Amino acid sequence: MAAKKRTAAKKRLSISSPTSRTAVPDRGPARSPHDVILKGGAAQHLGVRLKSVTKKRVTAEMPIAEKHLNRSGIVAGGALMAFADLLGATGTVANLPPDHRTTTLESKTNFFAAGVGPVLNGVAIPLHIGRTTMVWQTTIRNADKKLVAVVTQTQMVLPRQRKA
Tens digit of pLDDT for each residue in 62-115? Answer: 999 999 999 999 999 999 999 999 999 999 999 999 999 999 999 999 999 999
Domain 30-159 annotated CATH 3.30.70.2860: no
Residue 68: CB atoms within 10 A of its CB come to: 22
Which tens digits make up the pLDDT trace of 5-31? 444 444 433 333 333 333 333 345 546
Averaged over 43-66, what is the pLDDT?
95
Distances (CA, A) of 125 to 77, 90, 134, 159: 21, 11, 11, 23
Looking at every residue in the chain, the average pLDDT score rounds to 84
- Phi and psi, residue 144, nearest 5°: -85, 10
Percentage above 70 pLDDT, the chain: 77
Q: What is the pTM of this model?
A: 0.79
